Amino acid sequence: MEPKRSNLQTDVLIIGSEGAGSRAAIETAGEGLRTLVVSKGFFTRGGASVTADMDINVPSRDAKAIFGLPGDPADDVESFARDMLEEGKFMNREELVLAHCSNAARSVKELADWGMRVEGLVHSPGHRFPRGILSSGRSMMQTLKKKVEESGVQLLENLMITDLLTERGEVGGAVGVDTRTGDFVVIAAKAVILATGGAMRLFPITTAPEELTGDGFHMAYRAGADLVDMEFPMFLPACLYWPESMKGVDFPYLFSVQVGGWWLNKFGERFIGKWDPTRMERGTTRDVASVAQAMEIMEGRGGPHGGIFVSTKHVPDEIQEYCAEQIPWWRNFIYGQFDLVKFGLDPRQVTYEAGPACHYWNGGIRVSQKGETSVRGLYAVGEAQGGTMGANRLSGNAVAEAVVFGAIAGRQAASYAQDAPLPCVSEEQVTEYRERAYQALARENGVDVFDARKRIQKAASEFVGPARDREGLTSCIKEVEELNKEILPNQTTTSKRRACNREWVMALENESMVLVLELIARASLMREESRGAMYRRDYPDTDNGEWLKNIIVKQGDGRAVLRTQPVVTSEVPLPEREKVPYMIPTWEFDKRF
Amino acid sequence: MAPGERNAELESDERIIVHVYRSPPQETEDTGEDGRFQEYSIPRQDRMTILNVLDHIHEHCDRSLAYYKSCRIGKCVGCVVQVDGKTRLACTTLAKDGMRIGPAKGYRIIRDLVVEFPVRGGSSKGGPDAAEQ
């Protein structure tokens, strides 16, 4: 039996249901527009937002004035923006940074007024002032869920969008698969907002949830949108590499930073001293830490599971226990719902083997300060958008980005859709995209989906981790060519059932992952320097003479076309145009922390 | 060596037996009465969770197994299942020999271990038809 086809219509289609998508939906529905939100998984039970142990950073002055927390009146929007640009190594788009910093406090206040818990203020690494309003992703998502449910938004879960529909360079909706039934869905929409998150699952070790496989990047790219800064996937250092069952879990980093833990190589050396001798483990930023750890491992000074060692055993139990009681997500050494004592992973007794895990997507779909992409009617918000964070995201900025730009792009998309006619759906496009969506299911013999996934992830881990070089990147591009020629067109699912077929979803995701792998490799090869989250072993300096430029990529004639664009700022001065060593702390950590 | 690449084979030969709920093969609604518990024997991993068990079964024993996972760290609570009569998260519960893993109680079963979570104003009930023009 042929899969059923549903034809839907809406004013605004939002792809992705969590922090950024929900926030945008509240805005578009509030403007009276028909809003359809689709989620690849279950609402509030998927995506990155719900996993955040979060601090949402706002200007410290506002933390005091608006929330009554012990913020510092010396901090303001400009100094927050300066920290983001300096720690983003000036790759950020300044207009996005200013929009982020000037709207963050308002957006958090709004969430708090709607019911999100506020639990205190923290001072996160890389920030000059204590700016982190402490809450949790769960509390935020419960709050947003209630608002979304009240706002008359139509929600479709288990719907995986596979392609955007376009007509003369304008977006006109999307097509996808209802993974619960296996049926095909065609959605005509006046405006589309991508809130699909990053592509961290490209890497075999990641802190990110299952869904984040770069689908939004793939569909935006295929629709002709510009992507930017794709060479800067962000890694979180010191995430578990062992046991196998808990790979990528991030508590060794979070906790070791809190209590003064050490990161050691197999000779027992605190190697971070070679990279960031002033700030060391507790104060260094996550880009440098990940590069330092990756280099120890790649140069053969790691442990038996391919990681480095993280230890807090030198810290007396009493201090560890005292700190544990202070931190809401670490009480009784229970992290999330992992009881670490029960798992035999009590930090008072165990040295962890850990290392970089892909954590966040600094780059993404290139947007204006209103969330507009280069395709008319198409918007990108939250982690899917590129340009806010530059080459390195500061702690506690992802959630703010999601809600700030969710609201901004929501308003913008609403005003665009107000005046736009309902687009015609091109049946030619629908047929082509439908064929692509069902091909792995239809094919009788071919490449196993799991084998394909492993091969893709192996290439990512080997060639485009935090530390790269020309040889690896060239091999990576060759591997991508092979994957595009031999693997992707031959993927086949073992199970042919359409309903709830996880393998089929993986096959579709694999296509997005290979594109993202290619874009990272090509942009990294072009950038002949080291900056933020990207370290080139063969170009170890940060070259502010040549490389105060962003790399922008779009599809042209069926291949990736890269161009550079110089960074321009008006408020925050750019650094001297000279080559500097990769790691120079831009300010003295110990003065304020 | 690439980060995370192991330089030693660390798996044991020991195996565990688990029983996992499977919906009837036909595409009709599963009321929870018509399915059965299927037995699987799988290699034990160090600190293996129920989610690791399901991942193993899906990859190596039966690709048609339906289950839901997202964060893997006990936060999204999407992988909730019934284990030996108790409600547990698959991702943060250690696996034991002889376990019976079924769909979470109190929800409508979509397929195998995937259940429907209620959303007010949402589509969970009608699927895309609910929005059809």
CATH number of the domain encompassing residue A536: 1.20.58.100
Residue A433 CB-density burial (10 A; 0-12 exposed, 13-18 middle, 19+ buried) = buried
Going by pLDDT thresholds of 50, 70 and 90, the confidence category of residue A450 is very high
Which secondary structure element, helix H or strand E, spans residue A10, and what is its range? Answer: strand A5-15
Nearest to B122 among A43, A497, A500 (CB): A43
Nearest to B89 among A155, A335, A337 (CB): A337
Assigned domain for A241 exists: yes
Higher pLDDT, A591 or A533: A533
Residues 85..104 of B with a Cβ closer than 8 Å to A: which?
89, 92, 94
A87, A90, A63, A93: which is closest to A75 by C-alpha?
A: A63
Residue B8 pLDDT exceeds 60:
no
Assigned domain for A404 exists: no
Residue keyed to tokens 């044991």:
B12
Cis peptide bond prior to A243, omega within 30° of 0: yes
Residues 91..150 of A with a Cβ closer than 8 Å to B: which?
137-138, 145, 148-150
What six digits make up the tokens of A488? Answer: 């992707």
Q: Which whole number is the average pLDDT over A54-72? A: 96
What six digits make up the tokens of A501? Answer: 């077929």
Give the nearest chain A residue to B64 (CA atoms). A495
Contact between A121 and A63 (Cβ < 8 Å): yes
Assigned domain for A30 exists: no
pLDDT of residue A354: 98
Give the nearest chain A residue to B113 (CA atoms). A500
Q: Which whole number is the average pLDDT over A473-485? A: 98
Going by pLDDT thresholds of 50, 70 and 90, the confidence category of residue B128 is very low
Residues 6+ apart with CB under 8 A from A568: A94
Residues 6+ apart with CB under 8 A from A384: A16, A20, A194, A195, A196, A197, A198, A216, A217, A220, A361, A364, A365
Query: A7 has which bridge partners?
Result: A186
Coil, helix or strand at residue A14: strand
Residues 8..37 of B with a Cβ closer than 8 Å to A: which?
8, 10, 27
A471, A468, A506, A501: which is closest to A487 by C-alpha?
A: A506
Assigned domain for A538 exists: yes
Nearest to B123 among A46, A157, A335 (CB): A157
Q: Which residues in chain B are closer than 8 Å to A211, comparing Cβ atoms?
A: 70
Integer Cα distance of A82 and A13 in angstroms: 35
What's the domain count of chain A?
2
Assigned domain for A253 exists: yes
Residue A106 CB-density burial (10 A; 0-12 exposed, 13-18 middle, 19+ buried) = middle
pLDDT of residue A278: 86
Is the domain of A347 the same as that of A437?
Answer: no
Assigned domain for A517 exists: yes
Q: Please state which of the ranges A370-384, A558-572, B109-123 shows the lowest mean pLDDT.
A: B109-123
Other CB atoms within 10 Å distance of the CB of residue A458: 14
Is the domain of A453 the same as that of A545?
Answer: yes
The full DSSP string for A151-217 is TT-EEE-SEEEEEEEEETTEEEEEEEEETTTTEEEEEEEEEEEE-----GGGSSSBSS-TT-SSHHH
Q: How far is CA A125 from CA A132, A134, A287, B64, in A?
A: 10, 14, 11, 45
Contact between A550 and A229 (Cβ < 8 Å): yes
Residues 365..394 of A with a Cβ closer than 8 Å to B: which?
none
Higher pLDDT, B11 or A547: A547
The full DSSP string for A497-560 is --TT-HHHHHHHHHHHHHHHHHHHHHHHHH--S-BTTBEETTB-EEETTT--EEEEEEEETTEE
Which secondary structure element, helix H or strand E, spans residue B86, and what is its range? Answer: strand B86-89
Residue keyed to tokens 């034991």:
B96
Residue A375 pLDDT exceeds 70:
yes
The full DSSP string for A51-105 is G---EEE--HHHHHHTT-SS--TT--HHHHHHHHHHHTTT-S-HHHHHHHHHHHH
Which secondary structure element, helix H or strand E, spans residue A360, and what is its range? Answer: strand A352-361
Residue B131 pLDDT exceeds 50:
no
CB-facing half-sphere around the CA of A70: CA atoms within 13 A? 4
Higher pLDDT, B128 or A106: A106
What six digits make up the tokens of A348? Answer: 């008072």
Nearest to A336 among B49, B92, B119 (CB): B92
What six digits make up the tokens of A436? Answer: 């692509």
pLDDT of residue B132: 38
Integer Cα distance of A220 and A515 in angstroms: 11
Q: Is A355 on the interface with B (CB under 8 A)?
A: yes
Residue A273 belongs to domain spanning = 237-357
pLDDT of residue B124: 40
Q: What is the DSSP letter of A422?
A: P
Query: A357 has which bridge partners?
Result: A236
Q: Is A204 on the interface with B (CB under 8 A)?
A: yes
Assigned domain for A108 exists: no
pLDDT of residue A506: 98
Q: Which residues in chain A are closer than 8 Å to B70, comparing Cβ atoms?
A: 41-42, 45-47, 209-211
Is the domain of A431 the same as that of A555?
Answer: yes
Q: Is A6 on the interface with B (CB under 8 A)?
A: yes
CATH number of the domain encompassing residue A341: 3.90.700.10
Separation in Å, CA of B93 to nearest CA in chain A: 8
Assigned domain for A539 exists: yes
Tell me the average pLDDT of chain A.
Answer: 95
Written as one letter, the residue type at A441 is L
Determine which of A54, A148, A180 to mutate to test the interface with B (most B C-beta atoms within 10 Å): A180
A516, A535, A517, A118: which is closest to A291 by C-alpha?
A: A535
Separation in Å, CA of B6 to nearest CA in chain A: 4
Query: A578 has which bridge partners?
Result: none
Nearest to B123 among A138, A155, A209 (CB): A155
pLDDT of residue B95: 96
Residues 6+ apart with CB under 8 A from A353: A240, A241, A242, A303, A304, A305, A307, A308, A309, A310
Q: Which whole number is the average pLDDT over B78-104? A: 96
Residue A585 pLDDT exceeds 90:
no
Integer Cα distance of A348 and A314 in angstroms: 9
Q: Which residues in chain A are closer than 8 Å to B132, comparing Cβ atoms?
A: 6-8
Percent of chain A with pLDDT over 90: 89
Is the domain of A342 the same as that of A432?
Answer: no
Residue B56 pLDDT exceeds 90:
yes
Determine which of A10, A18, A337, A537 to mutate to test the interface with B (most B C-beta atoms within 10 Å): A337
What pLDDT, in 10s, does the model give residues A35-56? Answer: 999 999 999 999 999 998 789 9
pLDDT of residue A285: 85
Q: How many CB pairs under 8 A join A and B?
A: 195
**What's the topology of domain B15-117?**
Ubiquitin-like (UB roll) (3.10.20)
Higher pLDDT, B36 or B7: B36
Integer Cα distance of A18 and A533 in angstroms: 25
Contact between A20 and A403 (Cβ < 8 Å): yes
Is the domain of A349 the same as that of A446?
Answer: no
Residue B89 pLDDT exceeds 60:
yes
